Every structure is written in structure tokens, then in C-alpha cells.
Chain A
Amino acid sequence: MFIHIMTALLILTNFYMLGSSRLSPIITAVSAQAVILAAVTVISTDLSFVSPEFYLIAASLVIKSVVLPVMLKKALVRTGIRREITPVIGYSLSLLTGVLLFLVSVKGIKMLPFPEGVFNMTVSASVFTFFTGLFLIVGRVKAITQTIGYLSMENGIYLFGTLSAGGSSAIVELGILLDLFVGVFIMGIVILKIKREFDHIDTDELAVLRD
């Protein structure tokens, strides 16, 4: 019952990220995703408080739901951006694409063998989270939204790994997480630099090289 509700919530956060133009709530949504993931991991692998994996999960929860969102929000405040104004793909079309992506993830995972007792919608939701992140990267213009898409992709991969490999994936997760941490850290600095040089952070405008 709990895992079913968490799955529905995960799908809802994805749709929120696809349909919202304001950046600050999208960051909140991605940190909510991290909380949902931690909850699902703890429930589905029934770890004890003394196991090292538990602390790894706790650390990744803190980094993904507190540290990274705070950094992103700081970047948001300092660049003075509040919403995505001209996305490559409009919001209604994004939502409809989201439905298609969800359908693909539901039908696609049927071909994969999964351990007994895993709710198949949770696996679909993890693939869908991955797709949502990918979609945000290609479908939005602002560098911050693309960073959020990167985070959401990572969330999807993590959940997929947890469900298919059990608790041991926490170590793999730590590796990805460090990558991500460095990635977001650098992106935050780069975004500020770009903003200072060009007065905007639209990646589309950065395509032309000049002396």
C-alpha cells in the first residue's frame, strides 16, 4: 500500500516538472523525488539501522533533497531567473509527451525480468523519471532546468538500480552521486559565469562561436 502511494507520488512529481514553468517549485519537486526514493529504498530492502547501506542512503537523501536543491535555489536567486519563458517544447505538448513516455515505460519494462515482489508500476515510474529528466534536458532552454533534468535522470537510474539489484546498489549510487555533486557544483559556477558574461543563461544562444 505504502509503495503504491509512493509510486503515484513519484509520477505526480514528474508531471509537475513537465507542466510547470516556474523553476523554484520544480527544484522542490526534484528534492521531493529524492525523499520518495529514500522511502521506497528503505521499505523495499528492509534494512536495519546498523547496516552501512542505511547510512549511505541517509547521506544520499541529505545531499539530493537538501544540499543540491539549496545550491540550485541559490543559483536561481543570484541569476534572477524565476521561470522558463520560451521552452523548446510547450507545456501542453510536454504533458502529452509525458503521457506517451509513461506508456512506453509501462509497456517497455514488461520485457525485463524482475525479482519477485517488486511492484511493476514502481519500476515503470523509475524509467519514467529517467525519461522525464531526459525530456527536460532536450526540451528546455535554461541551464538550470537542464541541471534539474540531470538530477531527475539520476533519481530514475537510482530507483531502477535499487529495485533490480536490492540494497547493494547503494554503493553504486554513491559513485553516481559524487559525479552528480561535482556536476551540479560546476554547473552552478558555470551558470553564474555565463550570466555575468552574457546577461542570460539560455543555452540556445550559446551555439554560435566567435572570436
Chain B
Amino acid sequence: MTVYFSSAVFLLSLFLSPLIRGVINRVKAWFGGRKGPSLLQPYYDLFRLLKKGSVYSKTTTWIFKAAPLINLGAAVTALLFLPSFGLPSIINFEGDLVLFVYLLASGRFFMILSALDTGSSFEGMGASRETFYSALTEPALLFALAGLSAFTGSLSLSGIYSMISKSAYSAEIIPALVFIVFSLLIIFLAENSRIPVDDPQTHLELTMIHEVMILDNSGPDLAIIEYTGSLKLWIFGILLTSLFPVFPGIPQYLAIIYYLLLLFLFSSFIGVIESVMARLKMIQIPRLLVIASAFSALWFIWIVR
């Protein structure tokens, strides 16, 4: 029975993930005093791009064509390992959290290769930045997950989050949640190239990080990359919001509604952050990521004290 629920939730995630981007953009527009695009605009964009043809530069090789697909595959596989909405994931085994982290990293590795493959100096610059910053987020994410597994005594994501959704936090743990939530928030912003780290809407190549790496992609390839981006938003959003479970014993469909509402509330919060904050200077980003690592380490130390 749970397997059917998990599969249904998996399909729901694949289908609903672009909506997060729609919510963020809508909130940002509302903050700027504009009406903003429709919530479904990310879907329209995806369909528009899918209808177009692809243009490939002569300097590129097969890596450039394969990378978006590998990236998508990695993200979808990672989603298979992600327990969402209080349900166990479809595939799980002890130690899958390391695989989960590095599936996402391998997707990014191929995107970096494809950016280098184009031979454009701007894309090389973007690739270098992406490598640098993602290397700095890795210890933060692993420390946060290590603290979670020390807390729940399980090494798989499903085990961790099912323990969290079943038992209430003790009074000694609740203050430490501040640390991990803050750290996961910074990881969310950095991994998805959101505003204090990177601006998804910038059009100046010199300041771009993620967007500059996909300048040469067009048509369906670009659609796949954008879709993978929204899957990653979804994945990291679930990692964070699942730390706040419903009290156990309520029907599963109500729990799903609760988690969905929480996720979209979180997306609106991201929209608010992006509206009220400016981008950090490039040299200040490592400091922000060090803060994330420090908070993850604090959380870990608090748990294993």
C-alpha cells in the first residue's frame, strides 16, 4: 500500500516541481508591485522550448548533448531516494544518503563538463565558480545529514525522515533545529543558484554563475536543464520542510496536503528572501557557505555531545 502511495507521490513530484519556480516568481513580482506572470508560466516556458529545435556549436562534442540528459537522470534518480510527504522513498538502503548527495554532484559534474566543452571563456568562468561554490556546500550538506542520522540512528534518508515523522522532538533538540534549518536554507539557496549567491535573472555574463554555464544550450536541451533545475528546487525544499512533520496518526492524504502547503509556503519565503536581499559580492559567498558549514557542524556537535 505504501509503495503505491510513494509512487504516486513520486509522479506528483515530477509533475508539480516547476510550480515552485512559478510561486517564487509570483511572490517576487508581488513584492515589486507588479502583477507577475501566471503560476503556470514555467510550464508554458518548458513547452515553448520543447517545440523548438536545438542549435549545436561546431566545437561541441557528444558530451554537450549528453550532459543535460545525464543531469536529468541523476536528479530523477535522486528523487527516487528522497522520502517525501512522510512516506518512505521508492528505493532505500542503509547509507543511501551519501549516494543521494553524490548523484546530485555527478549531475552537476557533467553540466560543468558540457560548459567546458563549448570552448567559451564565459562558460569556463561559470564552470569554475560553480565548482568552487558547490565544493563548499558539500561539507555543509553532509554534516547536516550526518547530524540527522546520528539523531535518528539510521543511515538512509527514508529511515531518518520516517523516524522524524513518527516521534516528536525532545526539548533538547528543538533549539538545535534552528542551526540545521538555517544551514539547509543556505544550502538550498546556493545549490539552486538563488539570490544571495547567484541571480537567476541576471543578463551580465561576468556576474553569472549557473546561468552562464547554459548560455549555449537551446531548445529541448534548455528545457531539460530548466526542468532539472526545478526538480532540484523541489528536492532541497523537501529535505528542509520534511523536518517539520505533522503529528502522527492523521490520514495520509491530509499529511500530503499539509506537506504540499508547507513546501509552497517555503517557496513564498524564498521569494521574500530574494525580494528583500541583494546579491552578495563574489568574495563574500565563501563566507556565507562557511557559515552554513559551521551551523551544520554546530547541529552535529549538539546531537552527538
B175 near A19 with CB under 8 A, answer: no
Any A CB within 8 A of the CB of B122: no
B171 near A91 with CB under 8 A, answer: no
B175 near A4 with CB under 8 A, answer: yes
A124 near B172 with CB under 8 A, answer: no
B290 near A92 with CB under 8 A, answer: yes
Contact with A along B241-275 (1 / 0, CB 8 A): 00000000000000000000000000000000000
Give the shortest distance, in Å, between A105 (CB) and chain B (any CB).
10
Counting contact residues on chain A (CB < 8 A from B), the size range is 20 to 34
B287 near A91 with CB under 8 A, answer: yes
Q: Contacts A99-B297, A120-B305 hold; do A92 and B171 have CB atoms under 8 A apart?
A: no
Q: In the complex, given contacts A4-B171, A8-B175, A15-B294, what are 5 additional A-B residue pairs having Cβ atoms less than 8 angstroms apart?
A: A4-B172, A7-B175, A92-B286, A95-B294, A102-B298
A8 near B178 with CB under 8 A, answer: yes
Q: How many residues of B contact A (CB 8 A)?
A: 18
Q: Which of A8, A9, A19, A124 has the most CB of B within 10 A?
A: A8
Residues of B with C-beta under 8 A to A103: 297, 301
Query: How many Å lie between the Cα of A104 and that of B105 in the bound state?
Result: 32
Give the shortest distance, in Å, between A65 (CB) and chain B (any CB).
21
Query: How many Å lie between the Cα of A190 and that of B56 in the bound state?
Result: 69
Query: How many Å lie between the Cα of A12 and that of B286 in the bound state?
Result: 19
Contact with A along B161-181 (1 / 0, CB 8 A): 000000000011011101100
B291 near A19 with CB under 8 A, answer: yes
Q: Contacts A19-B287, A95-B291, A120-B305 hold; do A5 and B298 have CB atoms under 8 A apart?
A: no
29 contacts across the A-B interface (CB closer than 8 A): A1-B171, A1-B174, A5-B175, A7-B175, A8-B175, A8-B176, A8-B179, A9-B175, A11-B298, A15-B291, A15-B298, A19-B287, A19-B294, A92-B286, A92-B290, A95-B294, A96-B290, A96-B293, A96-B294, A98-B294, A99-B298, A102-B298, A102-B301, A103-B297, A106-B301, A106-B305, A119-B172, A121-B172, A124-B305
Find the A residue at minimum CB distance from B171.
Answer: A1
